[in-house]
Amino acid sequence: MSNRGSHLRRLEAQSIEIIREVVAEMSRPVMLYSIGKDSSVMLHLARKAFYPAPPPFPLLHIDTTWKFREMIAFRDRMAAEAGMELLTHTNRQGLAEGINPFDHGSSYYTQVMKTDALKQALSHYGFDAAFGGARRDEEKSRSKERVFSFRTGSHGWDPKNQRPELWSIFNTRVRPGESLRVFPLSNWTELDIWQYIRSENIPIVPLYYAAERPVVERDGMLVMVDDERLPLRPGEVPQRRQVRFRTLGCYPLTAAIDSAATTLDEIVTEMLIARTSERSGRLIDHDEAASMEKKKREGYF
């Protein structure tokens, strides 16, 4: 990263320091890899932090089985390139019960297939620290979260009882069973992420680029028909539209936007003149007023 003193270089250095601190102090860290642009940046920073060694921890992907197909292919390629072990976990019980975003509602589905699945995986492997790519500018309750965020033995977050975090001194102490969620991208904004991807040439899932894709318009959102499992409502006919995604999650819960941006420069340009925030396309955020805070208390990232 050139441009000494530039804000991107400072953000990069701070993130690297955070990632190294976890490896130096924790006995079993893991990096949550969600395949999105923030995860891509986080993985890139981890590789820089430990160069010439590969990052000394595995990647963990919580597979809800409802991710875009392109994401899964991309995931496997990136893990191999970084020389890192990739662990994937699916909530088998949820899968057996056929929990899906349509019949059970996005809120319950997220609880079972994402939050519960994540907790199962963390407990199963005994990880005492998990990196996440969340940023403080994404959402209100995240703006108050620590970089090193303590979790109880049952993975709960108590926002009113957080450890003060001063200078770059991080309290990493946990008892057996307790853990930390660590957010190296806390101080990055969406624009910073794109700028950094651009200046470092970081690969991202093609879904971020505009292309003709089959979508249906539903409750004011454009939902992509990624496979035959999406139940069409009466009158809905998939149509091909030039769309792309600002964030990536489970395809039935992630809205596309109309866009002609097919290059990074065009994406960033579009972002600069955007009038809605990126999470406006995430259906799970709007369930209730303090929706994200509630999910986070229960163990969501």
Site for other proteins in 71-130 (CB under 8 A): none
- For the bound state, the minimum distance from the C-beta of residue 116 to other proteins, rounded and expressed in Å, comes to 22
- For the bound state, the minimum distance from the C-beta of residue 46 to other proteins, rounded and expressed in Å, comes to 11
**138 secondary structure, DSSP code:** G
CA distance 31 to 43: 8
- For the bound state, the minimum distance from the C-beta of residue 243 to other proteins, rounded and expressed in Å, comes to 11
Listed residue (151, 175, 185, 94) closest to 300, CA to CA: 151
Q: Applying CB under 8 A, does 263 fall inside the site for other proteins?
A: no
- For the bound state, the minimum distance from the C-beta of residue 201 to other proteins, rounded and expressed in Å, comes to 11
Among 53, 98, 233, 235, indicate the residue that binds other proteins (CB under 8 A): 53
3-state helix, strand, coil in the chain (%, to 5): 40, 15, 45
* Burial class for 272, CB neighbours closer than 10 Å (0-12, 13-18, 19+): exposed
- For the bound state, the minimum distance from the C-beta of residue 148 to other proteins, rounded and expressed in Å, comes to 10
User: Which stretch, 10-18, 91-99, 118-126, 211-219, contacts other proteins (CB under 8 A)?
Assistant: 10-18
Among 205, 257, 283, 284, indicate the residue that binds other proteins (CB under 8 A): 257
- For the bound state, the minimum distance from the C-beta of residue 239 to other proteins, rounded and expressed in Å, comes to 16
Copy the structure tokens of residue 154.
């049952």
Among 176, 220, 234, 235, indicate the residue that binds other proteins (CB under 8 A): 176
Q: Quick one: 107 or 199, whose CB is closer to other proteins? A: 199
- For the bound state, the minimum distance from the C-beta of residue 218 to other proteins, rounded and expressed in Å, comes to 17
Copy the structure tokens of residue 294.
């509630």
Q: Applying CB under 8 A, does 28 fall inside the site for other proteins?
A: no
Among 96, 219, 233, 272, indicate the residue that binds other proteins (CB under 8 A): 272
Copy the structure tokens of residue 301.
């990232």
Site for other proteins in 188-207 (CB under 8 A): 189, 191-192, 195, 198-199
CA distance 63 to 249: 10
Go through the chain and tell me how many residues it has: 301
User: Which stretch, 66-74, 110-118, 214-222, 285-293, contacts other proteins (CB under 8 A)?
Assistant: 285-293
Residues 6+ apart with CB under 8 A from 149: 157, 162, 180, 181, 182, 183
Q: Quick one: 120 or 195, whose CB is closer to other proteins? A: 195
Q: Where are the beta strands (DSSP E) in the chain?
A: 29-32, 59-62, 86-89, 129-131, 148-151, 179-182, 211-218, 221-224, 239-244, 255-258
Binding track, positions 213-252, relative to other proteins; x by CB under 8 A: ----------------------------------------
Contacts 24+ apart (CB under 8 A), 88-91: 88/60, 88/61, 88/62, 88/63, 89/60, 89/61, 89/62, 89/63, 89/117, 89/118, 89/120, 89/121, 89/124, 90/62, 90/63, 90/64, 90/65, 90/117, 91/116, 91/117, 91/120
Among 179, 186, 247, 254, indicate the residue that binds other proteins (CB under 8 A): 186
Site for other proteins in 142-171 (CB under 8 A): 142-144, 159-160, 162-169, 171
Q: Quick one: 73 or 290, whose CB is closer to other proteins? A: 290
Residues near other proteins (CB under 8 A), total: 79
Q: Applying CB under 8 A, does 141 fall inside the site for other proteins?
A: yes
